[in-house]
Each structure stands twice: as structure tokens, then as C-alpha cells.
Chains A and B, each alone.
Chain A
């Protein structure tokens, strides 16, 4: 059985205590100083990556807001080429995916690995340089993109000669530090989070290099494009965040993962089927039909790992949902885990030809994107930051009120976003399908829903500002009150107002 914390058995199996790897987690005793040493070893790269991720989050928010407003006001900011929709939108995608999410995922991986391997972080310098090289690559790519230099493939717009080599180098350096730490592990058993996180780095390097080779043309170029983009979602963004959720849920609740077998099924099922999903982005398109059929089949097979992970995580938390009131990290991890199930089920539905013929080219896809990349990925990363930052900095979040405001605005705003575009997208799709209707109707039918999305964009942005402000206060608050209790020690609910909880 897996335990949320690896047992104390060391690699040679000769630890003083000789505990089996099936040890129940509550029996594992790790001295606080020991954990402190692990956290200290990763402190530098973790803080650096979280800081950069927050900067990118703000940049990406501005780019997303402008892209959204431009649907309502197409004549907004049209005089400069770098402000045109067709440049801001890919800039939004690249900043959010490679800047915000990926950089925060570096921090999460680098913080989790030493804890789960029960050793200090190795090659810390490589990790720090990797993060900086990655950021430099993205910065160069972004400037070029806004200046009109784009590789022209969605998700792969960043310049393949000036930006992409730096991204590959950066991720490889971080990956090297992760794998070196893994090699030096003091535990025999690999916890499920380790599988996901460690595998993500070689996966990312392979797909990113394959996607950027300049040797493809015609429909092959489309096949490689979506092979990459889908796996960037499935074998990078999804996997690292599932690893994080697998850590947070049992750790905060204080009981082990429900089933080791479901963990195994979830992991290998995802590795096998997700990698074959890419062509479902081209359903009905000019590709050999067997390729598309392969991906539709693999998409349907995804039901296996998705349900396995869903049941496993649900059963781990079930009966303890009340604990969410005390821990924002748990709240966000639970919402993220549920959103993972929801977005995957929506995705499987969307991959069916009968549904895809309606929704393919519509804002339904954008609703799906943000259900996945926001309600799952971004909320999981927020949860990770709520858990990790106080432990790295050694002090508690200053204000429960700001936490509540952030979760409510970001989460609530995004629910509105997804509902608005989900509905708008279906209306748009039905209109585009109807041979009797002019194109104008599909535009007219989406306009009110796009406006609603812009409203939600403002709400979400307010949430982001509050979060960044709160992080800033956490980082620079006086050291008063430092380390009197471990974080979240006080038994006061954080997520309900005073008085309303008894």
C-alpha cells in the first residue's frame, strides 16, 4: 500500500527501525528538523520560481483581459500591430502556460521531490539556472511574438531558433535536479506523486523537441502540432498537478491514499491513452481518417484512468470534506481534483464526432480550455502555493479574509466564465451547423455571452490582484509571530467568517 509519506526505510533496507513500506502513515515519525532540512534545501529555486510565476500570472491576466475585451470592442487598441488580437491572444496562451503554470510547476516539483525522497535537493544550482534560462527564453519568445515573429503553430508560436532551445535547456536543467534527487533517495518506495512528477520532465522534453522540428509540412504539420499541444496538456500540465493533488489531499487530511492499485491504473492508463489523443483536435479535418479514429478511440479509453483517479481521490477525502474549512490548500485541491474529472468527462464528450461536429470551432472549446487550465491546473497551483509558501518562509498567511476573497473571486469568476462560454459555444455551434442561417446569426448569438465572459474576466483579475498582494504581504510581513505554531495550527476555520462556524 502506498502511504502519503514514504516510510523511514532507507534504500538499502537497513534503517534502524526496519519499517516496511506498507507502513501506515500515522505511524511514520519524521522529526520536524528533518523536514525543515528538506525544505531549506529547495528554498532558493522554489521561491524564485514562485516569484516569477506570479509576475507572469499578472502579465497573462492583462493579456487575457485585453483579448476578451476586444471581442466586445473590436476597435479597441487597433493602431499598433503589437496590440492586435492576433498577437495578444497567443501571447496570453504562452505566458499563462509556459510562464505562470510551468514556472509554478517547477517550484512545486522542486519542493515535493526532497520531501518525498527524504533527502535534500541535489544540483540546486542547476535548478536555479534552469528556471532563469527558461524565463529568459520565454521573455525573448514573447517579445518576438508581439513583434510579429511566430512559428505559426498554436501552442508552439515561440520562435524555434531563439526561444525554444532556451526552454528545452531550462526544463532539462530543472529535470536534472529532480532526477538527481530521485537517484539519491533515502526511501525504497516511490510515492505516486513521484511517478507523475518525475515522468513529466522527460515527457516534456521529448514532445517539445518533436513539436518544434522544422521538417513537417501540410497535414503532417497539423498532426505534429496537435500531438504536441495535446501532450503538453496531458503529459505535462496535467501530470505535475495530479502529482501535487495526490500529495496535498492525504497529507492535509491525515490519512493515506485510498488504493494503490487505482493509483497505478490511473498513472499507466493516462500515460498510454493520453499520448494518443492528439488528433481529436482535428475531427472532420483533412487527415487520414484512421489517425482521427485512433485518437477518438484513445479519448474514450481515457475514461479508465480518469475514473480511477477520480474514485481514488474522492475516497481519500470522503467523510472529511469539513476539513476544507480549515485549509485553503485543501479546498483548492479538492475543487481542482473535481474539475479534473469534470473537464475530462467534458473532453471525452467533445471528442465524440456527434458532439464535435457542433462544438469544434466554437467558444465551447475555450470553456473547456479554461475549465481544465484554470479550475484544475491554476486552482491546484494556488492550493500548492497556499500550502508551500508558509512552510518555506516559516510564517503564516497574514489574512484569512484575503484568502476568502481570492478563492471566491477567482473560483466564482471562472465558473461564470465557463458557463457563459459553454452556453454561448453551443448556440454558436448550432447556428454554424444550420444551412439556412447566415454567418451573422452565429456572431449575434455569441455576443452577449462574450460580454458576460468579459465581466467574469474583471472578477477573476480582481482575485489575482488580491492573491499577489497577499503573497507580497506574506513575504515582507515582519518576522513577528514567526514560527510560534506550525502553519494552520490554529483550529479556527479560515474559510468561513467568524461566528458562522461553531
Chain B
């Protein structure tokens, strides 16, 4: 090659082509998808919990997607009663699909593990409930105090993991993230305007 113009125009053309095919075109197509009726927008507390999920990097070990049941075992492993579809995610910004299953998928964790106390203790110290767990403990989401104040919720920990003195108080952050986890339920049937199916059946 001897011409800079060929180089720069060629380089721009290839990347713009990909941008149109994979970003701009889908954007117009996906714009019509509506939230299913049963998918509730997050409450303020749950939205705060989602932010804590992001800032503490739960995404690097947990996915939030049930893959296509034609070629994966996600549904038969009980991660959900159906694969997840674009409509399940219309309220998500940013998406939290994830790429690692060092820990289990959380797309339906609210239905699978609905006990708030279990979730709080698990967050404080996963090994208190699941001895083989390699999930990090998140003690910094809680407060250590000599005595709980009025209206403060304390954790009921097994003796091996309880602090020697004082109590562990549930902070607003811990409450929020557990509220978010419990909101993760997608048991409703896949909505009709499901683009994945439409195109697959064409």
C-alpha cells in the first residue's frame, strides 16, 4: 500500500460497518420492546442495592441470564423455568449479564432463596452457611456496634462467626442489596413480542 487515503478510508469503513450491523441496527429494532407487565421497575431501595451490586463487583462471579435451552443445560439445572429474553432486561442500565459462573446464576435468586435473613448472613460471611463457599465475605457492608440502637436490625450469627464482643448491625446498604437480590424473579412467561423467538421461527 502506498496511499494513506486507502488505509484510513478502508479502516474507517470496516469499523463503521460493524458498528452499524451490531449497534445501530439492533438499536432501532430493539427500541420497540416493552417491559412485560409482571416485570416491576425497581423500588428506590432496590435500585440502591443494584448500585452496590455494581460497585462491589458481584458481576465478576455471578451471571444474570438463563441461556438458550436448545443447547445449554441452564433450564434443566433449575436456573429458571425458561431462557431469559430481551424484554426481561428493558429496565437494566447498565446490563449485568455477566461472563463468569464462579458463583451460581442470580437471575431467579429471589424465588430460589427468598429468606432475607439467610441472604444477610450469607453476605456477611458466606462460610457461616455454606462451608465450601469461595465467595468473599462482605463485612464492610455491616456495622459493628457494642449495642444495637432502637429500630436497628442485628444479625443472628453462628458463634464461630459472631464478633467476640458487641453485635453486627444491618446497614442501609446491606438491606438495599438484599432487597435487590430478592427482587430478582423472572418466573412469568416470556412475553409475546420476544424478538429472539420471532426471528428464530422465521
Contact = CB atoms under 8 A, between A and B. Distances in A.
Given A150-B54, A284-B67, A221 B92 contact: yes
Contact of B132 (A189, A285, A443): A443
B22 A206 contact: no
A188 interface: yes
* Contact size range, B: 35 or more
A353 B71 CA distance: 8
A286 B85 contact: yes
A203 B94 contact: no
Contacts of A203: 11, 15
Contacts of B57: 84-87, 89-90, 150
Given A284-B67, A285-B84, A440-B132, 9 more contacts: A84-B136, A86-B60, A87-B57, A217-B91, A222-B89, A286-B97, A290-B199, A361-B63, A435-B76
Contacts of A30: none
Contacts, number: 238
A262 interface: no
Interface stretch (B41-49, B99-107, B149-157): B99-107
Interface of A: 21, 70-71, 74-75, 78-81, 84-87, 89-90, 148-154, 182-183, 188-190, 195, 198-199, 202-203, 206-207, 210, 216-225, 227, 231, 235, 264, 268, 271-272, 275-276, 278-279, 281-291, 294-295, 353-354, 357, 360-362, 365, 432-435, 439-440, 442-444, 447
B58 interface: yes
A220 B7 contact: no
A219 B95 contact: yes
A291 B26 contact: yes
B51 to A, nearest CB: 9
20 contacts: A74-B135, A78-B139, A80-B140, A85-B57, A152-B96, A153-B94, A183-B4, A188-B2, A195-B1, A203-B15, A221-B92, A221-B93, A282-B97, A286-B83, A288-B195, A289-B200, A357-B67, A432-B73, A443-B102, A444-B132
Nearest to B86: A219
B27 interface: yes
B193 to A, nearest CB: 12
Nearest to B93: A217
Given A86-B58, A202-B12, A284 B99 contact: no
B18 interface: yes
Interface string B141-152: 000000000000
Given A224-B23, A284-B68, A435-B77, A85 B54 contact: no
B166 interface: no
